[in-house]
C-alpha cells in the first residue's frame, strides 16, 4: 500500500475519536514487527525513525529505505515519519527519501528561534507534501532522566500552531521519555484544555511510561498520536534474553532476533487496538 501523510491519518482518527500508534524503528526487525502488527490489527501505524537512531546507524538512508520498502509492501496504511529531528539538513534528507512526515523538535531552542525554524521547515515540507509535527513545552527524559515536570500552556500552544502552521503538536502533559515502568500520571484536564484550543491533532510522547487505562483516557481527553518506543524495546529485549538464556549455544542471530520481532508484533498489535478503541471514558 502507498504511504500516507500523517495529517491525513490523524485527521481521520481525530474525527472518529480514535488514537493512532506511532512506534519507533531501530532495526529492520522493528519495521517488520510493526507492519505485521498493523496488518493483524487492520489499523494504520506510524513508523518513526528518530535522529538518535540515525546517529546509531551512521546515516538515515539504509534504515529509512528498508522501512519504506516494508511499508510499501504492506496491506495497511503506514506513515513514514522522522522523529525528534533537530537538524534541518536531516529533515531535507528525509523529504528527499520519501518520508511522508517529519517531527522538527525545536523544544530546546528559545521560543522565537523555535517558531522561526519550525515555520521554515513547514514551508519546505508543505511544498513536498510532507506533514510536520512540532513540540512545545519540552517533554522530559530525552537525556534518559525521568523528568515529568514540564507542562504546555494551552494558549501558548494555540499561538504556536497559528504562527507556524504545523500539522500536529507534541505537548507536555505529564509523560516523560524512556520510562521503564508504566507509572506516569497524565494531567487529563490539561489535555482536554489544550484540545479545546488547538485545531490540530495532539501528540503524546514518552508513552512507554503510561499504563493502558491512562492511554485510553488520554485519547478520550484529546490525544491522537501516541508515541511508544522504550516499552517495545523492553519487550524485544526480554524475548531475546529469554531465548538466549534457554539456548546459550546459539550462534545464528536469526534465532533470537526472530523471538524479539515476534514478541514486538504481538504487543504492538495489542497497543494499536487499545489506542484505536473508541472509548466512553470521561475526564
Ligand atoms: O518520540 C518517541 C517517543 O516519545 C517514545 O518515547 O521511549 O518513552 O516511549 P518512549
Ligand atoms: Zn518523543
The ligand 1 atom nearest the CA atom of 230: 7
Alpha-carbon gap, residue 219 to 204, rounded angstroms? 9
Alpha-carbon gap, residue 37 to 271, rounded angstroms? 9
Predicted local confidence at residue 244, as pLDDT: 98
- Superfamily of structural domain 6-276: Aldolase class I (3.20.20.70)
The ligand 1 atom nearest the CA atom of 50: 1
Helix (H) or strand (E) holding 24: strand 20-24
Alpha-carbon gap, residue 127 to 124, rounded angstroms? 5
Count CB neighbours of 246 within 10 A.
Answer: 10
Asked if 101 and 6 touch (Cβ cutoff 8 Å), the reply is yes
Is the torsion defined by CA of 168, 171, 176, 181 positive or negative? Answer: negative
Distance from the alpha carbon of residue 66 to the mean position of ligand 1, in angstroms: 21
pLDDT grade for 137, boundaries at 50, 70 and 90:
confident
In order of 50, 192, 280, the CA distances from 268 in angstroms are 18, 26, 23
Predicted local confidence at residue 186, as pLDDT: 97
Query: Which of 227, 237, 268 best tests ligand 1's pocket when mutated (most atoms within 8 Å of CB)?
Result: 227
Predicted local confidence at residue 108, as pLDDT: 87
**Ligand 1 neighbours by CB, cut-off 6 Å:** 24, 83-84, 177-179, 205-208, 227-231
- Per-residue model confidence as pLDDT tens digits over 151-163: 999 999 999 999 9
- Per-residue model confidence as pLDDT tens digits over 48-73: 999 999 999 999 999 999 999 999 99
Query: Which of 51, 205, 223 best tests ligand 1's pocket when mutated (most atoms within 8 Å of CB)?
Result: 205
Residue 271 has pLDDT above 50, yes or no: yes
Residue 219 has pLDDT above 90, yes or no: yes
Asked if 101 and 71 touch (Cβ cutoff 8 Å), the reply is no
Is 83 catalytic? The answer is yes
Domain boundaries, the chain: 6-276
| Mean pLDDT for the chain overall | 94
Amino acid at each position: 500500500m502507498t504511504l500516507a501523510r500523517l495529517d491525513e491519518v490523524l485527521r481521520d482518527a481525530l474525527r472518529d475519536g480514535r488514537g493512532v500508534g506511532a512506534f519507533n524503528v531501530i532495526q529492520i526487525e522493528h519495521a517488520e514487527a510493526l507492519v505485521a502488527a498493523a496488518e493483524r490489527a487492520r489499523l494504520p501505524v506510524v513508523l518513526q525513525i528518530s535522529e538518535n537512531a540515525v546517529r546509531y546507524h551512521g546515516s538515515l538512508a539504509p534504515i529509512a529505505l528498508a522501512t519504506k520498502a516494508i511499508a510499501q509492501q504492506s496491506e495497511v496504511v503506514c506513515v513514514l515519519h522522522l522523529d525528534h529531528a533537530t537538524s534541518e539538513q536531516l529533515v531535507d534528507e528525509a523529504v528527499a527519501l520519501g518520508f511522508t512526515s517529519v517531527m522538527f523538535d525545536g523544544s530546546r531552542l528559545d521560543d522565537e528561534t523555535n517558531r522561526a525554524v519550525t515555520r521554515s521547515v513547514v514551508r519546505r515540507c508543505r511544498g513536498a507534501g510532507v506533514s510536520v509535527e512540532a513540540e512545545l513545552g519540552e517533554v522530559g527524559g530525552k537525556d534518559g532522566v525521568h523528568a515529568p515536570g514540564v507542562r504546555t500552556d494551552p494558549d501558548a500552544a494555540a499561538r504556536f500552531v497559528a504562527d507556524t502552521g504545523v500539522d500536529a503538536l507534541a505537548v507536555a502533559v505529564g509523560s516523560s521519555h524512556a520510562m521503564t515502568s508504566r507509572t506516569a500520571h497524565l494531567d487529563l484536564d490539561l489535555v482536554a484544555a489544550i484540545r479545546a484550543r488547538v485545531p490540530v491533532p495532539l501528540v503524546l510522547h514518552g508513552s512507554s511510561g503510561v499504563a493502558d487505562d491512562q492511554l485510553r483516557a488520554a485519547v478520550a481527553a484529546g490525544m491522537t498520536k501516541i508515541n511508544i518506543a522504550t516499552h517495545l524495546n523492553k519487550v524485544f529485549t526480554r524475548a531475546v534474553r529469554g531465548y538466549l538464556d534457554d539456548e546459550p549455544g546459539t550462534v545464528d542471530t536469526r534465532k533470537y532476533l526472530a523471538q524479539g520481532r515476534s514478541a514486538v508484533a504481538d504487543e504492538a498489535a495489542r497497543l494499536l487496538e487499545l489506542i484505536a478503541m473508541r472509548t466512553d471514558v470521561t475526564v
